[in-house]
């Protein structure tokens, strides 16, 4: 499954994180992990956005933890993206960045609570 690519949203923790680990453990070598975990502290920021007039910051460290665990389970390449799927532009960016890194083939896609996008 070296050429298979899975896009998994909500993958910094919870069900999405568990799905990411499952895919890594079961032979997926290329993963795209997407999350929008927020924190209100500047030391945790990767990118910022504004929601309800308050700045919010993506917590990159949670996504990195999942990425590291996936690599320890056998994933070779893990692309981590902090995107808010409520932003339609972000959805296109996820696909564009995936294609740029892994090519045009996408085998599996999961959004939130395991909605198969294929």
Domain ranges of the chain: 5-116
Where is pLDDT greater, at 57 or 3? 3
How does pLDDT run across 39-82, given as a tens digit for each residue?
444 444 444 454 445 445 556 788 889 999 999 999 999 999 88
Q: Which residues fall within 8 angstroms of residue 94, CB to CB, at 6 or more apart?
A: 7, 32, 34, 81, 83
Q: Output the pLDDT for position 20.
A: 94
The answer to whether the CB of 57 falls within 8 A of the CB of 41 is yes
Q: Output the pLDDT for position 44.
A: 45
The answer to whether the CB of 93 falls within 8 A of the CB of 83 is yes
The answer to whether the CB of 42 falls within 8 A of the CB of 58 is no
Indicate the SS3 state at residue 52: coil
Handedness of CA 42, 62, 36, 71 (dihedral sign): positive
Where is pLDDT greater, at 107 or 3? 3
Question: Could you tell me the pLDDT band of residue 37, with boundaries at 50, 70 and 90?
Answer: low
Average per-residue pLDDT in the chain?
76
Query: Residue 63: CA atoms inside 13 Å, Cβ hemisphere, count?
Result: 25
Q: Output the pLDDT for position 21.
A: 95
Superfamily name and number for 5-116: NAD(P)-binding Rossmann-like Domain (3.40.50.720)
Query: Residue 117: CA atoms inside 13 Å, Cβ hemisphere, count?
Result: 15
pLDDT at 112 over 60: no
């Amino acid at each position: 499954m070296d050429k298979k690519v899975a896009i998994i949203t909500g993958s910094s923790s919870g069900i999405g994180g568990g799905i990411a680990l499952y895919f890594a453990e079961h032979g997926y070598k290329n993963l795209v992990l997407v999350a929008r975990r927020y924190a209100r502290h500047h030391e945790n920021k990767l990118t910022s956005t504004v929601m309800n007039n308050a700045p919010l910051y993506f917590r990159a460290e949670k996504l990195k933890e999942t990425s590291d665990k996936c690599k320890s389970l056998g994933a070779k390449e893990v692309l981590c993206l902090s995107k808010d799927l409520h932003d339609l532009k972000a959805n296109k960016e996820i696909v564009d960045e995936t294609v740029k890194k892994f090519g045009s083939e996408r085998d599996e896609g999961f959004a939130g609570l395991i909605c198969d996008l294929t």
